[in-house]
Amino acid sequence: MQFEEMGNMSGKTLMLLPGTCCDWQTNFGTVIPDLSEKYHLICVNYDGFDGSDNIFPDMITVTEKIENYINEHHAGRIDGAIGSSLGSSFVGQLVMRRNVHIDHAIFGSPDLDQSGKISAKLQSMLVVPLLTSFTGNKEKRNKSKEKLKKIFEMDDENAEKFMNCFSKFNPQSIKNEYYTDLLTHLEEDISVEHTKAHFIYANKMGEKYLKRYKKYFHDPEIREFDMQHEQWLFGGKKYAEPVLKAIDEFMEMPI
């Protein structure tokens, strides 16, 4: 595991938790300069996605390591944490388990998928090969890149970074991360005193995800954006600036 602290060291603490098959450098790279101006950032890379030879074990083991870091280095409390996609599962677990305290739990347009073991295995058999397909021949890579650019309105540079990120990690780590995320469940109507849950809702994902946010968390603060899943991180200033403004507003809300 890697924990790297940077930014405005006198500002509020904000932990950044990347999504599936990503390190923080790729996942949050386009917004780190803006966030660093205001916040004391704690950037996390999980086992298997930190440049080491370690294999990602499972979501709960990694959650425990994040809790240990917050307890040891920040006296058990941080001002905020934002999870990108799968990273939101860690945010949810940190809040629900109550072993550390987060004032502002920010969920970056997650799907919050949960399933049983059989369904999780079947889904993994279908999805993991797609997640590890970016190491193919040049023609295959170019087709994948064009799909990313079209779906997320990425420019060529960000699409290439995204593909390189997915292709550099051990397939076993990718499988373990995807599979155990499906098995890591949240309780319904989670409510923790002095913690506020905030959701970045990408409405092009569909309303079923909005219903999930309201199912798992009590009275969440939800901001709707006309974008695809996590498009604010790869689609340029058009998408990033409104979300960054919302994050600032989340972090200033009374709890």
- Report the C-alpha gap between 198 and 223 in whole angstroms: 8
Type of residue at 4 = E
Per DSSP, the three-state class of 194 is coil
Specify whether the CB–CB gap between 48 and 55 falls below 8 A. yes
Q: Pairing relation of β-strands 13-17 and 77-84?
A: parallel
Per-residue model confidence (pLDDT) at position 175? 93
Type of residue at 236 = G
Q: Is the pLDDT of residue 107 over 90?
A: yes
What proportion of the chain, given as a percentage, has pLDDT over 90? 75
* Average pLDDT of span 147-163: 69
Residue whose pair of structure tokens reads 């974008």 in the numeric block: 227
190-206 pLDDT, tens digit each: 999 999 999 999 999 99
Run of H or E residues at 14: strand 13-17
235-248 pLDDT, tens digit each: 889 999 999 999 99
Per DSSP, the three-state class of 199 is strand
Specify whether the CB–CB gap between 231 and 152 falls below 8 A. yes
Q: Is the pLDDT of residue 93 over 70?
A: yes
All structural domains of the chain with their residue ranges? 2-113+184-252
Q: What's the whole-number average pLDDT of the chain?
A: 91
Per-residue model confidence (pLDDT) at position 154? 65
Q: What is the pTM of this model?
A: 0.91
Per-residue model confidence (pLDDT) at position 234? 86
At 164, is the pLDDT very low, low, confident or very high (cuts 50, 70, 90)?
Answer: confident
Per-residue model confidence (pLDDT) at position 153? 66
- Report the C-alpha gap between 65 and 69 in whole angstroms: 6
- Report the C-alpha gap between 209 and 207 in whole angstroms: 5
DSSP 210: H
Domain 2-113+184-252 is found in CATH 3.40.50.1820 = yes
41-79 pLDDT, tens digit each: 999 999 999 999 999 999 999 999 999 999 999 999 999
Q: Is the pLDDT of residue 134 over 70?
A: no
| DSSP strands (E only) in the chain | 2-7, 13-17, 40-45, 77-84, 101-108, 196-202, 221-225
Highest mean pLDDT among 103-107, 119-123, 226-230: 103-107
- Report the C-alpha gap between 52 and 218 in whole angstroms: 38
* Average pLDDT of span 121-131: 82
Q: Pairing relation of β-strands 40-45 and 196-202?
A: unpaired
Cα radius of gyration rounded to whole Å, the chain: 17
Residue whose pair of structure tokens reads 């949960």 in the numeric block: 114
Closest CA to 39 of 99, 106, 110: 106
> How far is the CA of 117 from the CAs of 92, 121, 130, in angstroms?
20, 6, 20
Q: Pairing relation of β-strands 221-225 and 40-45?
A: unpaired
CA 205 from chain centre, in angstroms, equals 16
Q: Is the pLDDT of residue 162 over 80?
A: no
Q: Which of 30-39, 132-141, 175-184 has the lowest mean pLDDT?
A: 132-141
Q: What pairs with residue 196 in β-bridges? A: 104
Run of H or E residues at 15: strand 13-17
Per-residue model confidence (pLDDT) at position 117? 92
